Chains A and B, each alone.
Chain A
Amino acid sequence: AQKVTQAQTEISVVEKEDVTLDCVYETRDTTYYLFWYKQPPSGELVFLIRRNSFDEQNEISGRYSWNFQKSTSSFNFTITASQVVDSAVYFCALSVTQGGSEKLVFGKGTKLTVNP
């Protein structure tokens, strides 16, 4: 099966804490892409990052960082010094090519609540 598992359904932290959102994937493809999307309470879906399977370098963007490890099939997302505005549902997604179909398979999401 080609799927994404986000084992943490909900996480609650206090502002300024660091928090890591886990993402584990399964795929048969040798070339694939991984994504993170954010869905704030307002409901829109916002792209955060894309990583291809050949690039295992970690990425940092401000308070956000991503750790991609092919050996453990994981693509974890860390927010440093969390803020209330980080409260959202975060989705990890995996690109899948199956029978000519191109699609993203999404995890079920992790709801992050950052309390003041």
Chain B
Amino acid sequence: NAGVTQTPKFQVLKTGQSMTLQCAQDMNHEYMSWYRQDPGMGLRLIHYSVGAGITDQGEVPNGYNVSRSTTEDFPLRLLSAAPSQTSVYFCASSYEGGRTGELFFGEGSRLTVL
């Protein structure tokens, strides 16, 4: 059972480039979310989805897009990368939802924007 799989694990971008962080889960969880982790800031919610075709913004959505065409996949797109988006990104899923359920996290993707 793979759980939550994130790719790539590491990525270096130049300012203005675009990229997509992939997230897939094989637990049939309806709820999926993206967090970013910055030193001294804890984890902050970027976007989340309560099911296929439904997405919503979290605390820090600016500069990021998401879509949810299937239950399994929840990609995070950076349209024009900025140095402020240098961070570690975690995808998480939950059976019960973002409010009540245990979150299962991916291993994280470390992004550096030069």
Interface residues of A (CB under 8 A from B): 4, 9, 33, 35, 37, 43-47, 50, 52, 91, 93, 95-97, 100-104, 106-109
Contacts and interface: CB of A to CB of B under 8 A. Distances in A.
B interface secondary structure, majority: strand
Nearest to B38: A108
10 contacts: A43-B88, A43-B107, A44-B107, A45-B92, A47-B102, A50-B100, A93-B43, A102-B31, A102-B98, A103-B48
B56 A100 contact: yes
A103 B45 contact: yes
Interface residues of B, number: 28
Interface of B: 31, 33, 35, 40-45, 48, 50, 56-59, 88, 90, 92, 97-100, 102-105, 107-108
B99 A33 contact: yes
A47 B104 contact: yes
B7 to A, nearest CB: 15
B42 A102 contact: no
Nearest to A39: B37
A interface secondary structure, majority: strand
Given A45-B90, A109-B42, A102 B105 contact: no
Closest 8 pairs (CB-CB, A-B): A102-B98, A102-B99, A45-B105, A106-B42, A108-B42, A106-B43, A95-B99, A47-B102
Nearest to B44: A106
A102 B108 contact: no
A109 B79 CA distance: 30
Nearest to B100: A33
